[in-house]
């Protein structure tokens, strides 16, 4: 499959997935999950200490993905780095051969399990995007020239189910003005709300890759509702998972993901699949949704929101 930037330029329906870095140095599962996705997605995201819980460096794991044969999307947050560290890591990505970066503010440190930690937030997502653009132009944040410009593709996140929606749209426009070339959305569970978001987002000049999250259990769905702002799993999905019981809840979660993909795939420019704790199911979902063939070749039959 094409690399992400090439797929965006050519107007392909975009397929991306997420592989969670290990909380430690054993990358065997990470590598296994990534290898299952070869030839099935345009790019694979690597999280940056998600939910403010320590994981292996996204830069190191991005290089692992690159060596496997993937086009990595390295997430960079402002929570754990000041502006010097952010610029250093962005330069490091270029040197490693990584070309995509998702610029995020980051979850608050108190969300995680080391609440005594000190969050930085020297730069937030919009400012990180501007930093990427500057480095691409050969300048650091002080305006001084650097020895070799970057060629990074900057992306950003958006919450299409935010209530109220207006602030999220305003922030999205700021991110586009700052240089975002694509959006990967937070998990979508309410297609009607996503439709409302896309009515406005169709005016954007960038690609919208819709996030679909595999609810592998009732407990996972309840955790989402209790701990992740801006996302709400509807009662009907909770009931479906509960009725399925322990033995059937993974399949019920798969059916929910497939239903959501079918509902939204013609209204956006791509699908971003997340399956924390069940990443091995991502390739299965892609095949069952008809987004890739069993041999792993992506299909072009899905219409996107921006042509």
Whether 301 is covered by a domain: the verdict is no
Across 211-230, b (16+ Cβ under 10 Å) vs e yields bbbbbbbbebbeebeeebee
Whether 300 is covered by a domain: the verdict is no
Model confidence pLDDT, tens digit, residues 67-82: 999 999 999 999 999 9
| Host domain of residue 47 | 4-288
Whether 306 is covered by a domain: the verdict is no
Q: What is the overall mean pLDDT for the chain?
A: 95
* Rounded alpha-carbon distances, angstroms, from residue 212 to 17, 45, 60, 160, 261: 9, 14, 26, 12, 7
Tally the domains of the chain: 1
Axis crossing angle, helix 28-36 with helix 58-68, rounded to the nearest 10: 50
Model confidence pLDDT, tens digit, residues 255-293: 999 999 999 999 999 999 999 999 999 999 999 999 998
Return the C-alpha torsion angle 215, 220, 222, 223, nearest 10. -130
- List the beta strands (DSSP E) in 7-93: 14-19, 43-46, 72-77
CATH of residue 46's domain is 3.20.20.220
Whether 242 is covered by a domain: the verdict is yes
Distance of CA 30 to the CA centre of its chain: 16
Model confidence pLDDT, tens digit, residues 171-215: 999 999 999 999 999 999 999 999 999 999 999 999 999 999 999
> What predicted TM-score, i.e. pTM, was given to this entire model?
0.94
Structure tokens that stand for 179 in this block: 């240089």
Whether residue 226 is predicted with pLDDT greater than 70 in this model: the reply is yes
Cα 153 from Cα 254, distance rounded (Å): 31
Q: For residue 199, what are the contacts with CB-CB under 8 A and spacing of at least 6?
A: none
Whether 302 is covered by a domain: the verdict is no
Whether the CB-CB separation of 19 and 279 falls below 8 Å is answered with: yes
Whether 244 is covered by a domain: the verdict is yes
Whether 297 is covered by a domain: the verdict is no
Residue 79's Cβ-count burial label (10 Å; 0-12, 13-18, 19+) is buried
Structure tokens that stand for 112 in this block: 């995680």
Residue 191's Cβ-count burial label (10 Å; 0-12, 13-18, 19+) is middle
Whether 305 is covered by a domain: the verdict is no
Better-predicted residue by pLDDT, 227 or 139? 139
Whether residue 296 is predicted with pLDDT greater than 70 in this model: the reply is no
Cα 264 from Cα 279, distance rounded (Å): 21
Cα 140 from Cα 300, distance rounded (Å): 39
């Amino acid at each position: 499959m094409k690399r992400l930037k090439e797929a965006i330029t050519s107007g392909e329906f975009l397929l991306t997935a997420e592989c969670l870095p290990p909380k430690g140095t054993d990358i065997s599962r990470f590598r296994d999950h990534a290898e299952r996705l070869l030839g099935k997605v345009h790019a694979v995201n690597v999280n940056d200490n998600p939910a403010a819980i320590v994981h292996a460096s996204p830069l190191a794991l991005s290089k692992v993905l690159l060596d496997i044969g993937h086009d990595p999307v390295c997430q960079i947050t402002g929570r754990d780095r000041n502006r010097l560290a952010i610029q250093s890591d962005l330069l490091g990505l270029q040197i490693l051969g990584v070309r995509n970066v998702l610029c995020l503010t980051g979850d608050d440190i108190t969300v995680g399990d080391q609440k005594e930690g000190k969050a930085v937030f020297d730069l937030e997502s919009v400012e990180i995007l501007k930093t990427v653009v500057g480095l691409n132009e050969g300048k650091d944040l002080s305006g001084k020239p650097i020895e070799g410009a970057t060629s990074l593709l900057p992306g950003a996140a958006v919450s299409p189910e935010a209530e109220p929606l207006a602030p999220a749209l305003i922030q999205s426009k700021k991110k586009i003005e700052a240089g975002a070339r694509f959006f990967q959305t937070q998990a979508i569970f309410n297609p009607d709300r996503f439709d409302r978001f896309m009515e406005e987002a169709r005016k954007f000049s960038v690609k919208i890759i819709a996030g679909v999250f595999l609810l592998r259990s009732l407990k996972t769905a309840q955790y989402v509702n209790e701990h992740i702002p801006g996302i709400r799993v509807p009662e009907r999905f909770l009931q479906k998972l509960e009725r399925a019981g322990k033995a059937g809840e993974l399949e019920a979660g798969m059916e929910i993901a497939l239903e959501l993909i079918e509902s939204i795939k013609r209204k956006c420019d791509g699908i971003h699949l997340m399956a924390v704790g069940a990443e091995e199911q991502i390739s299965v979902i892609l095949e069952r949704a008809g987004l890739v063939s069993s041999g792993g070749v992506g299909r072009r039959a899905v219409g996107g929101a921006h042509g």
